[in-house]
Amino acid sequence: MPNSATIHDQAASERPPLRIAVAGLGTVGAGVIRLLEENRDLITRRAGRPIEVVAVSARDRNKDRGIDLSPYRWEDDMDDLAALADVDAVVEVIGGSDGPALTLARNTLKRGKPFVTANKAMIAHHGMELATIADSSDIPLKFEAAVAGGIPVIKALREGASANRITRVYGILNGTCNFILTKMEAEGRDFADVLTEAQAKGYAEADPSFDVDGVDAGHKLSILAAMCFGSRLDFGNVTTRGIRAITAADIREAETLGYRVRLIGMAEQGEDGLYQCVQPCLVPAEHPLGYVPGSLNAVVAEGNFVGRLFFEGAGAGDGPTASAVVADLIDVARNEYGPAFAMAVETLEALPVADSGGRSGKSYVRLIVADRTGVLAEIATAMRDAGVSVESFIQRGAQDGAALIAMVTHEGEARAVADAVSRLTASPNLLGDPVVMPILDL
Amino acid sequence: MPNSATIHDQAASERPPLRIAVAGLGTVGAGVIRLLEENRDLITRRAGRPIEVVAVSARDRNKDRGIDLSPYRWEDDMDDLAALADVDAVVEVIGGSDGPALTLARNTLKRGKPFVTANKAMIAHHGMELATIADSSDIPLKFEAAVAGGIPVIKALREGASANRITRVYGILNGTCNFILTKMEAEGRDFADVLTEAQAKGYAEADPSFDVDGVDAGHKLSILAAMCFGSRLDFGNVTTRGIRAITAADIREAETLGYRVRLIGMAEQGEDGLYQCVQPCLVPAEHPLGYVPGSLNAVVAEGNFVGRLFFEGAGAGDGPTASAVVADLIDVARNEYGPAFAMAVETLEALPVADSGGRSGKSYVRLIVADRTGVLAEIATAMRDAGVSVESFIQRGAQDGAALIAMVTHEGEARAVADAVSRLTASPNLLGDPVVMPILDL
Ligand SMILES: NC(=O)c1ccc[n+]([C@@H]2O[C@H](COP(=O)([O-])OP(=O)(O)OC[C@H]3O[C@@H](n4cnc5c(N)ncnc54)[C@H](OP(=O)(O)O)[C@@H]3O)[C@@H](O)[C@H]2O)c1
Ligand SMILES: NC(=O)c1ccc[n+]([C@@H]2O[C@H](COP(=O)([O-])OP(=O)(O)OC[C@H]3O[C@@H](n4cnc5c(N)ncnc54)[C@H](OP(=O)(O)O)[C@@H]3O)[C@@H](O)[C@H]2O)c1
């Protein structure tokens, strides 16, 4: 049976292996071991030499991880796996922006050994420092798995679209949020309800805030932005707004208007600097991001020659994430690599932060108000005084004598909409927090 | 204004440039020159050194190409641009599987200089020979632009998904056909009518057969297959069926059933060998390929760890194609490259050709028949005798006393459906050629 998984490349298998240590044996770590095992011959052929796990490390040596660890040496000391003479490269799949992951990264790169990680939090916070160490001795620092899991988007932007000035990059960068939003949409249920179910089924963490508040997507966005714009990674200036405030009613109204509610991370380089924001948006139903189902991720990049590129796939899970980690290892084994952020880190620009209030577009504004005489006039006045022109306006009866107001504004500056809403916040007629979402163009 | 297009990287711009010759100055060649000019500083930063056009060549020196060629040396002799001492690498954007493109490719690689091409016909026919020359001296042979234009799908498969056993790869590989089919769909018009308009507007060639008969998509498919399966490129065994036989009625029936008609190139490695086929298929409306608008291209790859990856973008045009050509040049300038087909060409397997009749799935069968007593029984008998079980059956009155029959079969082997149809071809009741299209699963 001519199955590439069973074909053996004698020459490649006899070349000196890339010997790796794997730090962290959770979801991703176990996936990496399983993948290297299951696709061993294929990987040897593609990499031109074997990739061999020589050492592994985690917290608890005795935990059952569903994989056979007996072929690999266990190392208790995880901090400096690169010090081991038989380790050529280190894979870090521990997690956490600091702590043992960061220590290991620094130690590995300082010893001049390649470092592969899935750790978006660490790259978002310390990517510039680590890239500086890596670039100074031309050592691979690779993190394909850190953004959008199995989708090779780092490679697509670093190399595939490298000839383009990228005008903006945006997408669905958190599978948990997309899972929740699409389930709310399909079943007409509210956020809290769906979240509880997702937690019970293991699709969402017990502490979901990294996901649902947009922090995880923000980490990934900051990495994408640096890769696209040749700018210094600047996670500190990513604005994040999560999906907790989105209700089933918002999703219904959006649908009526021809849109879907998605958590979108977007970075754009404009005249006045770099805009980076994670927030729920209304996406036109015919936009490719409008069709991304369940927990998938997707990234759109717009280049000045290539136009719009769209990439979709699994953003998490042991298999897809391991796929990205091992792709990085194959690049390392092949010796096909260069500066982590596509260009020498010292040449990355420190861009000013763009004024997000100046962004232009349509917005969706939803209010829950007391169903009293005069409320409509109050809202209309606030809009007028803030200079917001309304394109469509819907009022529906809600529970307990309240009314839901859903508006779509004409094109205008974000600051005007924010101003209009702030004019209303003091009103006793406003029940609960208003929701404002930008509307993406097609 | 902190725009990366205007940022200058002193160190990179002072490094020795990659000096290239561009052969062919048509749509793509002119695009490459324009791109290298317009994004010059950015490309220098990303490549770590300048990419400089030193020589150009085409047929007619005096043609106005809408670009200023005065900065570049014109070479009349195109056959051996690599012989020029100041040329480090050659870009071939002439076209044609043989002739001057092939001569130039051989000469360039034999001289040990990198060769970048957008020429799918040449790679499909001579890719193995060229890769053998390239691999023997570790010279880059790159052809990102040859498949799906601006979408970096060669890179995504060669590198991004390299850890996976790819089970199948398929997609919309010809923008002209997708443009025609989506226009037929949107406007309810017939093939010939839309083709004429597309030709008038320059979206289709005067001789459209390479596109509409599936040859161009077949070239691309054979390249994708070799890249995915570690198999020798085998264009000779790609089955191609084009879109000429598709009618507005087929598209309407498909729509009623929840499908869209798309020209799909698909390659799959099965137990019995390699299946490669370009043909119109019914794609579920919720499948990502069902949403690919107009002249865009899209590729799906399914890997044993990553799951389904989906890539979409512009498959042709000067900008997108130039984007891919220059991405290849940047890889060359960065020295980030390896074997053209991901692994040493002599290790690629010569796979047997899979028996396409044994493929299982649902099929759409459309017949135009005389509207006479007994015709229905004749069809039903043919189906029964061939062992085809019918899931849905529609008969509609057509013009001139004819009837249109559209059936969807239950899962079954393709050979049975072919058998059933062949039983009917002799019937005097059959008016015109039957159309059979496989139905993709979601
Ligand atoms: N899961 C995904 O789908 C996914 C997708 C993309 C990226 N990532 C990233 O991949 C990384 C790993 O994620 P994961 O889901 O695999 O995490 P996980 O399942 O929680 O596994 C973490 C592993 O690290 C070990 N570890 C944690 N803290 C440690 C410490 N202080 N010292 C030593 N070992 C320690 C754990 O050891 P014990 O097992 O002994 O406790 C465990 O094996 C994270 O950076 C994450 O963001 C994950
Ligand atoms: N166009 C696209 O969107 C696209 C997309 C992907 C890949 N490609 C591939 O890119 C290649 C170029 O396509 P294109 O659309 O740019 O073609 P094109 O516009 O027809 O240009 C072809 C160029 O090659 C020159 N040429 C042709 N025959 C020649 C000969 N015998 N000797 C010397 N020069 C010759 C022509 O010279 P003159 O101008 O002097 O006549 C012309 O400059 C093809 O392989 C095509 O398949 C094209």
Domain chopping of chain B, boundaries: 4-146, 153-314, 358-439
Residue B5 has pLDDT above 50, yes or no: no
Which residues of B carry out catalysis?
Answer: 220
Amino acid present at A251: I
Q: Residue window 89-148, chain A: list those with CB within 8 Å of chain B.
A: 144
A122's tokens: 């660490």
Residue B365, H or E segment = strand B360-370
Q: How many CB atoms lie within 10 A of CB B97?
A: 16
The tens digit of pLDDT for each residue in A271-280 reads 999 999 999 9
Residue B172 has pLDDT above 80, yes or no: yes
The tens digit of pLDDT for each residue in A277-300 reads 999 999 999 999 999 999 999 999
B427's tokens: 């019937």
Provide the CA B289 distance to its chain's centre, in angstroms: 14
Residue listed under structure tokens 């809290």:
A192
Q: Residue window 170-189, chain B: list those with CB within 8 Å of chain A.
A: none
Q: Which of A7, A271, A307 sits opposite B314 (nearest CB)?
A: A307
- Kindly state which CATH superfamily the domain B4-146 is placed in: NAD(P)-binding Rossmann-like Domain (3.40.50.720)
* Cβ <8 Å between B4 and A313: no
Residues 6 or more apart whose Cβ sits within 8 Å of residue A94: A23, A24, A58, A78, A100, A101, A104, A119
Confidence of residue B95 (pLDDT cuts 50, 70, 90): very high
Residue B69 has pLDDT above 60, yes or no: yes
Residue A4 has pLDDT above 80, yes or no: no
ipTM above 0.90, yes or no: yes
Roughly what angle, to the nearest 10 degrees, separates helices B40-47 and B318-334? Answer: 40
Does CATH number 3.40.50.2300 belong to domain A358-439? no
* Correct CATH for A153-314 of 3.40.50.2000, 3.20.170.30, 3.30.360.10, 2.60.40.10: 3.30.360.10
What distance in Å separates the CA atoms of residue B422 and residue B226, rounded to the nearest whole number?
Answer: 33
Mean pLDDT computed over every residue of chain A: 95
- Reported residue count of chain B is 442
What distance in Å separates the CA atoms of residue A382 and residue A392, rounded to the nearest whole number?
Answer: 16
Residues in B touching A31 (Cβ below 8 Å)? 305
Please, what's the b/e burial string for B292-324 (b: 16 or more CB within 10 A of its CB; e: otherwise)? beebbbbbbbbbbbbbbbbbbbbbbbbbbbbbb
Residue having the nearest C-alpha atom to atom 42 of ligand 2: B26
Residue B130 has pLDDT above 80, yes or no: yes
Closest ligand to residue B76's CA: 2
Interval between CA A94 and ligand 1 midpoint (Å): 4
Confidence of residue A9 (pLDDT cuts 50, 70, 90): confident
Residue B351 has pLDDT above 80, yes or no: yes
Confidence of residue A7 (pLDDT cuts 50, 70, 90): low
Interval between CA B277 and ligand 2 midpoint (Å): 26
* Cβ <8 Å between B3 and A269: yes
Own/partner pairs, B357-361, CB within 8 angstroms, 24+ separation: B357/B413, B357/B414, B357/B415, B357/B418, B358/B272, B358/B413, B358/B414, B358/B415, B359/B275, B359/B413, B359/B414, B359/B438, B360/B411, B360/B412, B360/B413, B360/B414, B361/B411, B361/B412, B361/B414, B361/B438, B361/B439, B361/B440, B361/B441
Please state the rounded mean pLDDT for residues B75-82.
95
Q: What's residue B225's pLDDT?
A: 98
Residues in B touching A310 (Cβ below 8 Å)? 310-313
Q: Residue window 213-272, chain B: list those with CB within 8 Å of chain A.
A: 229-231, 269, 271
What distance in Å separates the CA atoms of residue A407 and residue A282, rounded to the nearest whole number?
Answer: 12
Contact B124, B216 (CB under 8 A): no
Which residues of A carry out catalysis?
Answer: 220
Residue A176, H or E segment = helix A175-187
Q: What's residue A397's pLDDT?
A: 87
Q: What's residue B3's pLDDT?
A: 45
Q: Which of B15, B323, B337, B349 to mutate to test the interface with A (most CBs of A within 10 A)?
A: B323
B377's tokens: 């029984």
Residue listed under structure tokens 């990502």:
B288
Rg (chain A; Cα; Å): 24
